[in-house]
Structure 1
């Protein structure tokens, strides 16, 4: 009989998922310790020049680059997990928990947002502006308190998918190695998925793979966020669902609009809209256009909603893993 803790047995995931989620909820981002995401960043930087040199067509080079890194992540993590599990099934179980733990960022996302919230409450707008500049890509030099609040709430909403729901979804399908593959996809998009001269063609494949990977989780996020909102003191699940359903597609990104729209409805705030990027105004439509702009207090409410939705996401991922075993 296959040991319960044996990775790949299916049954082990029923403990891996909640264990990794609880570890993230308690510990958060382990600063100062080795982190696979940083290793992925270094691998991306190292692999780009030889892939460009090997294939002259930038789109084809970018596709090769993305597939090699994603496939390599799965291969290395699967081999490592298999090797450690062969030494002892319990050691393999612990390693898989750590793999998924490093893919989750619910606590660190909430911490970053609440640090900005505390700075704004204390009236330290300049420091809050510096802090929000670390987590968004837009120009924030002229932002006041309410602008910072809007940017922070949007970040919490959007990163709920790639920092929590998508890793849980892929872990339910393929354990720690597949969750790490997703993080490589997400890291690739964040590093080369830009529409600039250098990466417009080379980064196209990475951006499209990221869009595909988040397609189902982003849309499923509307239901998860709506349920979390209904179970919260806000009791705003219906507004979250209707706003997510009606306005989720009104975003430049094919996926980011869905969680943002659900958060907008749940919190009763207007998000998105025109922003400056690199000194250039990008005219984006508002999401939750019937609501008022967010205030500072909505940062804390967004964090509470995100943590509640994360717990529900973990439960749903656990149920998916259980259904796949049957």
Structure 2
């Protein structure tokens, strides 16, 4: 077994990045790699479409090329910084881990929605919700807005917290940046509309594959976190996720949503309208009650506890892998 002392800084990078995310969140106006990734996608999409006639092949080239570029760029930056001074390389890794996570920003966005609902400003809440979901929200009332917010917290717990933590644990900050590119590609081109149904198919499939194991692991993490808050909540989270986690159009999103639904004893999902077209989706947690604005606060508390457990899990995995 290697001497652990050379790994000390590396071991501390992950919790330091998490602490930085909890402290700073996502300050407006700061440079952010995800925005750079978004600009790269916007710039390269027309190039790939112009040079490759087949939409699916063009989309695959975009996705694979940019994911590899994100990993290589992060690796190169850390190599250069470490060459100047090891502490500078460590600081760069901490910064990348911070940028890969969304614990504080996810909670802040949900709590802002809660405050707007608490002040009975439904039109303002609809406007804010329209920025974070793709469904039609023009006729949403407070329970609908609260439900959509809780669903967003549940689903984004996986791709904004647990998945990047696990990728970082396995491959360090560069793999975390590669995952963020996967997630960004899915959010920009992974739509099932006329423009992206073929072009974005590979990006969406890669995102599904990357989140497949974390989504299922999230059931145990959320169940354990809910159990820390209430034994009944923990049992409901596990039971609902096992029974209804597959009842979702996404191969992954239903698992954390069902766990949150059980833990909070609310129903989620159900029919929604997208761009004027009604889409029938099964209800998750049909035996429970409707979501109320106060459930947003409970969802954020559950997400935070789950994030701490995820950090401990990822940190332990990272230490074990670094000693092998």
Secondary structure in 2 matching 1:196: coil
Shift of 1:55: 1.6
Does the aligned pair in 2 maintain the 1:13–1:172 contact within 8 Å? no
Q: Which runs of 5+ in 2 are unaligned?
A: none
Shift of 1:13: 3.6
1:89 corresponds to which of 81, 86, 91: 86
Shift of 1:290: 1.2
Query: d(CA) in 1 for partners of 2:3 and 2:38?
Result: 35
Does the aligned pair in 2 maintain the 1:138–1:276 contact within 8 Å? yes
Offset from partner CA, 1:105-147 (integer Å, 9 cap, x none): 1111111111111111111122112111111111111011111
Aligned to 2:20: 23
Shift of 1:232: 1.3
2:236 corresponds to which of 212, 236, 239: 239
Shift of 1:30: 2.1
Shift of 1:54: 2.0
Query: d(CA) in 2 for partners of 1:98 and 1:235?
Result: 38
Aligned to 1:133: 130
Does the aligned pair in 2 maintain the 1:69–1:184 contact within 8 Å? yes
Offset from partner CA, 1:80-116 (integer Å, 9 cap, x none): 1001011111110010010010111111111111111
Does the aligned pair in 2 maintain the 1:11–1:325 contact within 8 Å? no
TM-score under structure 1 normalisation?
A: 0.96
Provide the aligned C-alpha RMSD in A. Answer: 1.5
Shift of 1:233: 4.4
CA gap of 1:257–1:10, structure 2 versus 1, over 3 A, is farther
1:308 corresponds to which of 300, 305, 309: 305
Query: d(CA) in 1 for partners of 2:238 and 2:154?
Result: 14
- Does 1:104 pair with 2:115? no
Does the aligned pair in 2 maintain the 1:251–1:284 contact within 8 Å? yes
Aligned to 1:181: 178
Query: d(CA) in 2 for partners of 1:225 and 1:111?
Result: 19
Alignment of 1:166-315 (within 5 A): 166-233=163-230, 235-315=232-312
Deviates more, 1:196-205 or 1:51-60: 51-60
1:123 corresponds to which of 120, 123, 131: 120
Query: d(CA) in 1 for partners of 2:78 and 2:202?
Result: 28
Alignment of 1:71-90 (within 5 A): 71-90=68-87
Deviates more, 1:52-61 or 1:158-167: 52-61
2:67 corresponds to which of 48, 57, 70: 70
TM-score under structure 2 normalisation?
A: 0.96
Q: Which runs of 5+ in 1 are unaligned?
A: none
Query: d(CA) in 1 for partners of 2:149 and 2:36?
Result: 27
